[in-house]
C-alpha cells in the first residue's frame, strides 16, 4: 500500500502492507487559488450577521488589525482587508497591524505604504491599558493600541489548541494581546482532552474571550480555516457567528478519527511555503501522542526550527524525561512554556524520532532521537507491527474510537 506523508515543501513515500496500516490522513485540500481572492472579497462584503466591513469604518478612523501571522495566504488576506477598509475611507497612515509577541518570528506581510507593524510586548506596562472587568471578576489589560483605536479587526487562524481549546480571531485579542500575568493564569489551567469536562472548559474560555471582545466594542471577526496547503474557507462576520461556523468547519475538515492506536505514528509537520516552528512541532507531537500506543514510536518529519527559550532550556537541563514536569514548574510565564509542556507530555508517552532543521546535538539534548535523513523513517516503519500516517499533524485533532487520551 502506497502512502505519502507531506512535511512543509517535501514528502516521503512509504510502501506498507495494508494489514499493518491503521489509518492515514493528509488533510483537506485548499480552495482553488484562483477563487481565493473572490472568496475573501465575498466574505468581507457579505459577512455573517454583520454589515460589510467597508460600512464599519468612516473616513478619519484609526484602525488596528490584530493579526495572527500564521494565517493561511496572509498576503491575499491582508490585501483584501486593505481594499475593503480603503473603500470605507480609511487612509493607510491610519492603519496599524498589531502582532502577538509569541509569533513575532513568523513572516509578517509587508504593510502597505503608510501603515505600520507593531509587535506586542506583554511585559511592557507602557503598552498596556485597563479595559474592564469580566463577569468573573478578571481585570482585563490589553495592548493600548486596541483600547485607543476607533475600530479593531481581529484576524486569526481557526484551529485547535491542545491546552486552551479553540483558537481563532478571539484568541488573538485575548489572551495573546493581554498582559503577562493573564497569559500565565491561562497556562496554569490547561484543558485535559481526556476529562469529561473538556468541552465545557473550552467553551468557557471561548465565552471569556468573546466577552473581552464585546467589552472592547469589537464585534467583527475574521477567521481563516486552513487547508493542507493554502486556504480552505474564510469566515467573517459577527463574533459569535464566526465562532459557531469556525468550530463546525474544524469538526468537519480537521478531525481525524481512527479505530485504534498504532505501534508507530509518522507525523508530517508544516505546510508548503511556510517555515515550521518549534511550536508547530510540539503541536504535532500532541496529535501523534493521541494516536500512538503507550511506549510506541513517534516519527516526526519536518523542517522545524527556532530559538531555544527558557522553558525548553529547562527540559535540556532536566536530562531525564521523567523529570520534565518538575523542571517546568514556575515557567508558565515564558513564551515557550506551552511548547515545552507539550514536548514533555510526548516524551512521557512514547519514543520520539525527529527529522528537523535543528542541530542533531540539540535534538539529543531535548531527549529526542535525531534523524539525519527522512528516509530513515522507512526502516523504523518496516520493523513495526502497525503504523499510522498523518500529514499536517500540527493542525489536526485526532480521536481514537473508545479510547482515552494520555
Chain segment 360-372, per-residue pLDDT in tens: 999 999 999 999 9
Task: State residue 34's pLDDT score.
Answer: 77
DSSP H or E segment with residue 231: strand 231-238
- Would you place residue 344 in the very low, low, confident or very high pLDDT band (cuts 50, 70, 90)? very high
The counts of H helices and E strands in the chain are 13, 20
C-alpha cell at 250: 474544524
**In whole angstroms, how far apart are CA 188 and each of 221, 292, 327?**
27, 26, 15
Task: State residue 161's pLDDT score.
Answer: 79
Instruction: Determine the Cα angle at 135 with ends 209 and 215, to 5°.
Output: 50
CATH number for the domain whose boundaries are 2-27+256-400: 3.90.226.30
Task: State residue 385's pLDDT score.
Answer: 96
- Would you place residue 106 in the very low, low, confident or very high pLDDT band (cuts 50, 70, 90)? very low
42-63 burial code (b ≥16 CB/10 A, e <16): ebbbebbebeebbebbeeebbb
Question: In the chain, what are the domain boundaries?
Answer: 2-27+256-400, 33-252
- Would you place residue 33 in the very low, low, confident or very high pLDDT band (cuts 50, 70, 90)? confident
> Helix 337-349 and helix 310-318: axis angle, to 10°?
30
Task: State residue 295's pLDDT score.
Answer: 96
pLDDT at 85 over 90: yes
Q: What does the mean pLDDT of the chain come to?
A: 90
Task: State residue 103's pLDDT score.
Answer: 56
Percentage of the chain beyond pLDDT 70 is 91
| Range among 22-31, 204-213, 298-307 with highest mean pLDDT value | 298-307
Are 2-27+256-400 and 33-252 the same fold in CATH?
Answer: no
* CATH for the 33-252 domain, from 3.30.70.141, 3.40.50.11440, 3.30.413.10, 3.40.50.300: 3.40.50.11440
- Would you place residue 190 in the very low, low, confident or very high pLDDT band (cuts 50, 70, 90)? low
CA–CA dist 373, 158 (Å, integer): 32
**In whole angstroms, how far apart are CA 245 and each of 56, 60, 71, 161, 163?**
21, 32, 17, 17, 21
- Would you place residue 318 in the very low, low, confident or very high pLDDT band (cuts 50, 70, 90)? confident
Task: State residue 291's pLDDT score.
Answer: 97
Q: What are phi and psi of 358, to 5 degrees?
A: -75, 155
pLDDT at 157 over 80: yes
Amino acid at each position: 500500500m502506497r502512502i505519502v506523508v507531506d512535511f512543509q515543501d517535501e514528502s516521503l513515500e512509504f510502501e506498507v502492507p495494508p494489514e499493518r496500516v491503521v489509518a492515514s490522513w493528509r488533510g483537506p485540500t485548499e480552495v482553488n487559488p484562483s477563487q481565493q481572492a473572490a472568496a475573501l472579497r465575498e466574505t468581507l462584503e457579505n459577512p455573517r450577521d454583520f454589515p460589510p466591513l467597508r460600512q464599519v469604518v468612516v473616513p478619519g478612523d484609526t484602525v488596528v488589525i490584530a493579526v495572527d501571522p500564521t494565517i493561511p495566504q496572509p498576503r491575499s488576506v491582508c490585501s483584501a482587508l486593505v481594499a475593503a477598509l480603503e473603500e470605507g475611507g480609511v487612509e493607510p497612515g491610519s492603519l496599524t497591524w498589531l502582532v502577538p509577541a509569541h509569533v513575532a518570528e513568523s513572516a509578517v506581510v509587508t504593510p502597505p505604504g503608510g501603515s505600520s507593524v507593531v509587535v506586542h510586548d506583554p511585559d511592557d506596562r507602557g503598552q498596556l491599558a485597563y479595559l474592564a472587568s469580566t463577569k468573573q471578576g478578571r481585570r482585563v489589560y490589553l495592548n493600548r493600541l486596541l483600547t485607543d483605536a476607533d475600530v479593531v479587526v481581529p484576524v486569526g487562524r481557526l484551529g485547535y489548541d491542545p491546552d486552551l481549546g479553540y483558537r481563532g480571531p478571539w484568541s488573538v485579542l485575548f489572551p495573546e494581546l493581554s498582559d503577562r500575568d493573564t497569559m500565565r493564569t491561562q497556562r496554569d489551567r490547561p484543558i485535559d482532552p481526556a476529562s469529561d469536562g473538556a468541552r465545557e472548559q473550552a467553551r468557557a474560555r471561548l465565552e471569556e474571550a468573546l466577552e473581552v471582545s464585546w467589552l472592547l466594542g469589537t464585534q467583527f471577526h475574521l477567521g481563516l480555516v486552513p487547508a493542507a496547503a493554502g486556504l480552505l474557507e474564510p469566515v467573517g462576520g459577527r463574533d459569535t457567528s464566526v465562532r459557531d461556523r469556525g468550530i463546525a468547519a474544524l469538526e468537519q475538515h480537521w478531525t481525524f478519527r481512527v479505530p485504534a492506536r498504532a505501534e508507530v505514528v509518522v507525523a508530517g509537520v508544516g505546510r508548503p511555503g511556510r517555515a515550521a516552528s518549534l511550536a508547530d512541532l510540539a503541536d504535532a507531537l500532541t496529535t501523534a501522542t493521541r494516536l500512538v500506543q503507550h511506549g510506541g514510536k513517534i516519527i516526526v518529519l519536518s523542517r522545524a526550527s527556532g530559538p531555544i527559550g527558557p522553558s525548553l532550556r529547562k527540559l535540556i537541563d532536566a536530562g531525564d524525561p521523567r523529570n520534565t514536569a518538575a523542571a517546568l514548574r514556575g515557567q508558565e510565564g515564558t513564551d515557550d512554556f506551552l511548547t515545552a509542556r507539550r514536548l514533555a507530555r510526548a516524551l512521557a508517552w512514547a519514543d520520539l524520532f525527529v527529522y528537523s532543521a535543528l542541530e542533531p546535538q540539540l535534538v539529543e539534548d531535548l531527549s529526542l532521537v535525531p534523524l539525519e535523513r527522512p528516509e530513515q523513517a522507512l526502516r523504523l516503519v518496516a520493523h513495526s507491527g502497525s503504523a499510522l500516517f498523518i500529514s499536517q499533524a500540527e493542525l489536526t485533532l485526532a480521536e481514537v474510537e473508545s479510547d482515552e487520551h494520555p
